[in-house]
Chain A
Amino acid sequence: MQIYCPICGRGYAQKLKDTWLVVCDTCHHLVKGSGLEPDQLMMPDDWSNIQVGTTGLYKSQNFTIMGRIRLQMKNDFRNLWCAQYGQEIMWIGQSLESIGFFKPPFAPYPHNFDQIRAGVNIEFSEQIKLKCELVEKCIEIRYEGELSPFPFPMGNFNLIQASNAAGNTVLVFHQNENSIQFLWGEVMLVYGVTFNNTKTWSQWETK
């Protein structure tokens, strides 16, 4: 379905099966969706080489990056890239050094947190224990491109990331006791993943 930016008139063909938000790449205005502040549609440059349109291969299937949610914490950040993965949606969580692939969609988190902090183990299931490595309040949230629904658009949540040695990882979005959502996936080093159509920073020759 073709939609047009109400400000600049640029046309966009919706590609995701459940498009929730489209931000105009030209004038940073909402093409689809509502309720966000203008600042939240201004994506800052953070030297990320992944961009909207970047493609890659995960578990023998191609994906294409459609949009990004940037979560700024006091001492860290996460880029949550929304990717078209075959007929499905996949979220890709990117930090400076690691990258996580989250295939299952957002789901209510079944456990509660009691004095959660980095370093403690959280029991995800009877078999799976994950060590909590990040507990930070999201202090700023920004959007770009075409996105699937995100449960906390205003960013008022604590982000918790926990992982184990097998590479399982969970991103938990904790707003309050009754409102906790999570993404389940697999984490790996940034250097272990190959993306195509990425930004290159030519002024930083590496050889």
Chain B
Amino acid sequence: MGNEVVIQHSCPKCKHVTTPKGKALTLSLTCEKCGVYYCVHTNANDQFLTKFIPALAIRSRGKIKGVLYEVMGFAVKREKKYEYQWREYFLFNPNVGIAFLSEYDGNWNFLKPYSKHPLFVSYTATPTIEKGKFQLYAKYHAEVLYASGEFFTDIIGSNESSTHYEHICPPYILNFEESNSQLGAYLGEYISPALVATGFNLDKKNLPPKKGLGYTQPHSFSVDESLLLTISVVTLLAAFFLQWILNETAINKKVFESHFVQADLNGQKMFTTSSFQLEGDQKNVVIKVKAPLSNDWFFAEYSLINDATDQEYIFTNEFEYYNGTEEGEAWSEGSNMGDAFLSSIPKGKYHINIYPEFSTSNHEFTISIFRDTPFYSNFFVLCFLLCLFPAAFYGYRYYREQKRWEDSEYSTYE
């Protein structure tokens, strides 16, 4: 429709005429000839002291998330307090609007305007949107060290009068800018250098080298945390239930008990029990030995022998009990009972040969034998092993999050 109004701007310094690619949307630009930055509708202009070379050339085109963008402008910004610098590429496609690629230490974020930022309504430290709950990472004022190309705002004026809020919920970032004249908000997402290079048909080596973990970079290993917790809790409950069932069904039967006195040895070195039956297929056997010790010990070697097959299980057991009074206080140490837990003993008829070593004061002991006694140690080992992966995962995540937040003055990590 109609004859088009051609928009051209003349450099306030060298008078070089530029036809902006952004047409009437372009509100500030740098002169292609002398590099002076100037605003279209005001007298503001600036000459930069240092020149920076953009990794993505002005006017080059690249595809991000399937959309073809043209690089309209490039700016190097510096945070005023801590003086760290980052680079911003201003992108445009008239069919989809404006976008930004922001690069710091070789880590990239792709941002688009986002009018649903909760800070438009009221201030909150943890704005929550459909992408998740965001945490404040930085609040700063920025200055522009360098700019080239064209922009749809006075980037020097608007940056220097604005307070910037950066909230993150990796891989997402929410930016909010507040000045006396405008509020602006952007929602961004971490984008790998490889995707930037591919999008702009560049060799990755031509992009700034990546240093460290980007502050919105997702972890290289991540899992669905709620599912991990669900699996862990369900497994622990299942293990607990199994333990309870097996405890309830354990027969825990005393299969033998006898009292032995040293005098009955009659010069021999061992006692032999009568035979007893161990039922069930493979079950544990617990041997409990009790002796009336007082400041004494009891040691014996035992040999559990299958009557039919002569299969032998040799083990020893020692226990001691000491007591007394020291400075009016009674004390005791040890026990006058000992036990042995034999795992997985096949069923059958057995007897035990006992080779006791009596001290000078104790001359007797009692032995009791139990079959299929409930026990808990495997349950605790299982719980420990089950917790290892979630603990390692949360430990790893804590470490990486600590690294992510180490440059933020709003870090909640020690």
Q: Do chains A and B touch in the complex (CB under 8 A)?
A: yes
Q: Which residues of A contact B67 (CB under 8 A)?
A: 206
- A114-135 CB mask vs B (1 if < 8 Å, else 0) is 0001110000000000011111
Q: Which residues of B contact A46 (CB under 8 A)?
A: 23-25
Give the Cβ gap from A113 to chain B, nearest Cβ, in Å.
13
Instruction: Apart from A97-B98, A118-B178, A118-B181, list 6 A-B contacts with CB within 8 A.
Output: A47-B24, A72-B41, A74-B154, A96-B25, A118-B180, A206-B66
The answer to whether A205 has its CB under 8 Å from any CB of chain B is: yes
Closest to A53 in B: B1
B94 contacts A47, C-beta separation under 8 Å: yes
Report if A118-B179 is in contact (Cβ < 8 Å); known contacts: A45-B7, A77-B24. yes
The answer to whether A136 has its CB under 8 Å from any CB of chain B is: yes
Closest to A144 in B: B2
B27 contacts A75, C-beta separation under 8 Å: yes
Give the Cβ gap from B200 to chain A, nearest Cβ, in Å.
15
A44 contacts B5, C-beta separation under 8 Å: yes
A119 contacts B183, C-beta separation under 8 Å: yes
A47 contacts B115, C-beta separation under 8 Å: no
B158 contacts A75, C-beta separation under 8 Å: yes
A96 contacts B152, C-beta separation under 8 Å: yes
The answer to whether A186 has its CB under 8 Å from any CB of chain B is: no
Q: Which residues of B contact A96 (CB under 8 A)?
A: 25, 97-98, 113, 152
A75 contacts B157, C-beta separation under 8 Å: yes
B115 contacts A97, C-beta separation under 8 Å: yes
Closest to A97 in B: B113
Give the Cβ gap from B243 to chain A, nearest Cβ, in Å.
52
CB neighbors of A among B1-36 (8 A): 1-5, 7, 22-25, 27
Q: Which residues of A contact B24 (CB under 8 A)?
A: 44-47, 70, 72, 77
Report if A51-B1 is in contact (Cβ < 8 Å); known contacts: A46-B23, A46-B24, A97-B115. yes
Q: Which residues of A contact B22 (CB under 8 A)?
A: 47
Q: Which residues of A contact B97 (CB under 8 A)?
A: 96-97, 190
Closest to A164 in B: B121
The answer to whether A154 has its CB under 8 Å from any CB of chain B is: no
Cα of A132 to Cα of B153 in the assembled complex, Å: 19
* A-B residue pairs in contact (CB < 8 Å), sample of 23: A26-B3, A42-B5, A44-B5, A45-B7, A47-B94, A49-B94, A51-B1, A74-B27, A74-B39, A74-B181, A75-B158, A96-B152, A118-B178, A118-B182, A119-B183, A131-B121, A131-B122, A164-B121, A190-B97, A191-B96, A204-B70, A204-B93, A204-B95
